[in-house]
Amino acid sequence: MDTVYQTVVIGIAVGALYGLVALGFGLIMGVMKFVNIAHGSFIIIGGYVAYWLFTLLGIDPYLSIPAVMLVMFAMGLILYRLLFSPLLKYPRAEMRLDKSLLITFGVTWILDNTVTLIWTPDTRSIVTSYTGSTLDLLGAKLGLTGLAGLILGVLAALALNILLTRTYFGKHVRAATEDSGAAGLSGVNVQRTYLISCGIAAALGGVAGVVIVSSYSIAPTGGLNWLLTAMVVVVLAGEGNIAFILPAGVILGLLQSVSTLVVSPAYQQPIALVVFILVLMFRPQGLFARKG
Amino acid sequence: MEFNWKRLSALAILLVLLIVPPLAIDLGSNIMNVMVTLFIYIILSQSWNLIGGYTGQVNLGIVAFFGISTMVTHFLWKEGLPIFAAIPAGSLSAAILAALIGLPTLRLRGMYFAVGTLALAQAAQVVVANIFVRQVAMPASFTTAYSLAPRYYLGLFLVVVATAVVYFVTRSKVGLAMVAIRDDEQAAQVTGVKVFKYKVIALLISAMLAGLAGGFYAYVRLSYWQISIVFSPLWTFDALLAVVIGGAGTLGGPIIGSIFLVVLSEIFANTLGQAHLIVFGFLFILVVLFLPQGLMGGVDLVRAGMYRAWRSVRRPTIV
């Protein structure tokens, strides 16, 4: 019983991190109808920025989050201006999707190899004084870094939801999501909305990167695996269903965590794939899609 | 059926040029190795061309089909099966894997197929690396019998096979359906094309071609390789790069793209090192954005421009 409770606690914490990883990806997917393959690289770069701030300046990774977000936000803006905005010239959504797959695949290539050049292919992680310490939660142990991931995931999801539902900018985003042409006609600056959404998505990826580098480790080629997690979570939540990304992440985290009771932990990723295929076969609209 | 004799004879001359010189003179193992690498690239990119270029389904996990076939071919060959039977067996295993992932993901439009194939490739890497030791080697009896010449000719043969398969498939009814799906899936559906059926057919043939490339790789690299290399996403990217740069949805595109890629990486790998991959990334994006037809389209553009220039020069003398 204790081990089950323990795996559930860990599953929830990991799942919140999965949700955090998927937030930026889901935002771009929902708003711009792009598949951003480069999101995994955003996460990795965010982690490396925090790593640099820690090793060069000695700034605690969790205190460096605002700085990382700022850097990533700027990077998102630059990438949008350089590489994503040309995609908008394709009028049909299908074509835009295909082209975005190709272009962001190229972007991933550029970013991953640049990261390898700058930081070498070695695996990096941040080790602080509290890295190994755990917290007692009614009998279950949870690492402090895991708890931080949980809290940050929930905070980021809440902040994004408030931004999308309670602010003027969020209204623009939702309008552009619904019908970018009509939104443009009624005075929404669609280009600027996309631009800022892209920046926010990259910044969210950066936050995920900070959590990953301080609780796990990062390597230049690791982005692809996190991207995959993000994709599975978004498929679970249902396309464009940003509010349910965090719950979907928790479900995936729980499934993977509980599965370790039965099979070897090495098979966590194949399990994500099986979940992905089962959802596609039986509930392609996602677990949380509203009826009608 | 009418044959284009000019084109056929050009093809025959090209084949003779590829077949005879290695027999007559010793080209050295360096050039032969580059040629063999080039053959792998061409087969793999023809495979991607069929599903991505002609059918318009972006497959981000072609390496799974390549890798599974490499493993199957390797072990069957090691167990004593002749290589001519082992490679088709590997190719078949790739098709089975393709059916597993294709049946659920190809029903849906949008990103699902791309995500499914990418997930499959990553999961296959993990599973295979868990089951087997991390690196695989052939017994000494195989390595001492190693010679490049049979690999060169088998590779050339497989390139011809892969190109012929793409040629005949795309000129059949199936090919017509594939192009219709790529150009407008909805319109194809409405006109009575069984979209799902033809997508699956395209994926299966494409996976078998990727399997040929994988089996051939197992035949070429036998001394020592790591599973993470066989399943590395690098293969997917290289195939994609070759097809897009050469010209997606054209027969010659993957060939031109592969030659371009292999020659460039031979030149740049020594001078630029890791940075040459970044250059490839930028090149790829530029081609996607500004040269949607790839180098093949570029050739057409130049040809049209030259024709126009020629016409404008000629016109005064006619009048």
Does B281 sit within 8 Å of A107, measured CB to CB?
Answer: yes
Least reliable range by pLDDT among A108-112, B83-87, B305-309: B305-309
DSSP symbol at A121: S
- The nearest CA of chain A is from the CA of B98 a distance in Å of 13
CB contact (8 A) between residue B111 and residue A101: yes
User: How far is residue B295's CA from residue B297's CA, in Å, rounded to a whole number?
Assistant: 5
State pLDDT tens for residues B85-122: 999 999 999 999 999 888 888 887 767 888 888 888 88
Domain ranges (residues) in chain A:
24-221
Domains annotated on chain B, with CATH: 29-318 (1.10.3470)
Window from A19-33, B10-24, B65-79 with minimum mean pLDDT = B10-24
**ipTM field:** 0.81
Contact A106 B285 (CB under 8 A): yes
Indicate the residue type of A274.
V
Q: What is the pLDDT of residues A19-76, one digit of tens each?
A: 999 999 999 888 887 888 899 999 999 999 998 888 888 888 888 889 999 999 999 9
| Res B317 pLDDT > 90 | no
Assess whether pLDDT exceeds 60 at residue B1: no
Minimal Cβ distance to A105: which of B101, B127, B240: B240
Measured between CB atoms, which of A35, A98, A224 is closest to B233?
A: A224
pLDDT digits (tens, 9 = 90+) for B279-307: 888 888 888 888 878 888 777 777 777 77
Q: How confident is the model at residue B237 (pLDDT cuts 50, 70, 90)?
A: confident
Using DSSP's 3-state secondary structure scheme, residue B136 falls into strand
Chain B residues with CB-CB distance to A94 below 8 A? 109-110, 185
Question: Torsion angle, CA of A193/A197/A203/A209, rounded to 10 degrees?
Answer: -170
Distance from CA of A195 to the nearest CA of B (A): 19
Cα–Cα distance list, A251 to A8, A255, A263 (Å): 10, 6, 18
Q: Do B122 and A110 touch (CB under 8 A)?
A: no
Q: Chain A contacts of B101, Cβ < 8 Å?
A: 277
How many C-beta neighbours within 10 Å does residue A154 have?
15
Angle at B100 between CA B98 and CA B104, to 5 degrees: 105
Q: Are B130 and A267 an interchain contact pair (Cβ–Cβ within 8 Å)?
A: yes
Q: Is the pTM of this model over 0.90?
A: no
pLDDT at B2: 52
- Residue B22 clears pLDDT 80, i.e. is over it: no
